Each structure stands twice: as C-alpha cells, then as structure tokens.
Amino acid sequence: MTSCSISPDPRFDLVLERIVDVPRDLVWAAWTTPEHLKKWFTPAPWKTVHCEVDLRPGGIFHFLMESPEGQQFPHTACYLDVIPGECLIWCTALAPGYRPLSAAAGGNPFLFTAIITLESLGERTKYTATVLHSDEEACRKHDEMGFHQGWGAALDQMVALMS
C-alpha cells in the first residue's frame, strides 16, 4: 500500500472526483508547474500571482492569492509524497522541511491535507482530489466555504488551459 491509497472518512474528508478530457501527464504538469498553476489554481476573479514548487517530500508549495480588490493572501504548504503522474500529497500543517506551522507563529490556521490522484482512461483522466481534515467541524466549515464549487471551478480552469 502506498501512502496514496488512503480511504477517505466521510465524516472528516471532502472528495472531488471527475473524469476530465485531459491526458494524465498534462494534469500532472498542471499541478506541478508554477506557470500552469498561476493560470488555473485560483477560481476567477481571484488570481494566483506567485507560485513556488519544490517537488519532493519536504519541499515547499507556496502560492500567493490576490482578491479582485488587490489584497494578497500568502499560503505555504509542504509536499509529503510525490509519485510522478500518479499521486501528489501536500499539507498546510507543515512548512517546508517538515517544520510544524502553528497558527500562533503566523501559520495557516486552516489545516488540511490534499491528496491528488490521477488514473489514465485512454486520453482522459480520472481525477480525484481528497481533502483530509482534523475533525468534523473543520470538514463542515470547508464544505460550507464552498469546497466543491471552488475546487470544481479551478478544475474547469485547468481543463480549459490544458485542452
């Protein structure tokens, strides 16, 4: 069992699963290349204006989101597992180099772990984004913040970009 074969818990986790008309290697490139991520990762009219990717366990995943009013929101996360073309895991509980991030230290108070898995279906790809939370309350909040709409709109942008 690799660390990607995680069974989500419906009480704690949110899952977006879709078959997209984009080959697997292009979906992987979209998720792991800053120039691509800047174009699709944040649903419009918000933007990703800066992005850093150090694609290895312990490496940084940083993105700077900008609201339509020009306010900027930095996010720093840490990759946990990277299986090229198959699975990408990153979390907001750790900074690069696996350093813990505490809210007290200016860390992200919104804790989740994202597991992106890709499966080839000919020229199409089965895309699954599983987002793990610490508890039901955090999961419900993320759901109410519009997880499915937000991650779905971003995926639409990815498909439009990579098609």
CB nearer to a copy of itself: give 37 or 93.
93
Sign of the CA dihedral with 63 first, then 64, 66, and 72 last: positive
Distance CA 153, CA 40 (A): 9
Token pair of 60 as six digits: 């940084």
Closest approach of a copy of itself to the CB of residue 122, in Å: 30
The mark string for 68-107 relative to a copy of itself (x by CB under 8 A, - otherwise) is ------------xx-------x-xxxxx-xxxxxx-xx-x
Q: Which two three-digit tokens encode residue 111?
A: 């804790």
Q: Using CB under 8 A, which of 6, 15, 16, 64 touches a copy of itself?
A: 6
Q: How far is the CB of 64 from a copy of itself (least distance, A)?
A: 21
Q: How far is the CB of 161 from a copy of itself (least distance, A)?
A: 28
* Residue 140: Cβ within 10 Å count: 14
Footprint on residues 9-48 left by a copy of itself (CB under 8 A): 12
- Count of CA atoms in the C-beta half-sphere (13 A) of 94: 16
Per CB under 8 A, which of residues 45..64 are in contact with a copy of itself?
A: 56-58
Give residue 7's identity as a one-letter amino acid code: S
Site map for a copy of itself, 110-139, x if CB under 8 A? -xxx-x----------------xxxx-xx-
Dihedral sign for Cα atoms in the order 57, 53, 49, 36: negative
66 neighbors 47 (Cβ within 8 angstroms):
yes
Binding residues (CB under 8 A) for a copy of itself: these are 1, 3, 6, 12, 56-58, 80-81, 89, 91-95, 97-102, 104-105, 107, 111-113, 115, 132-135, 137-138
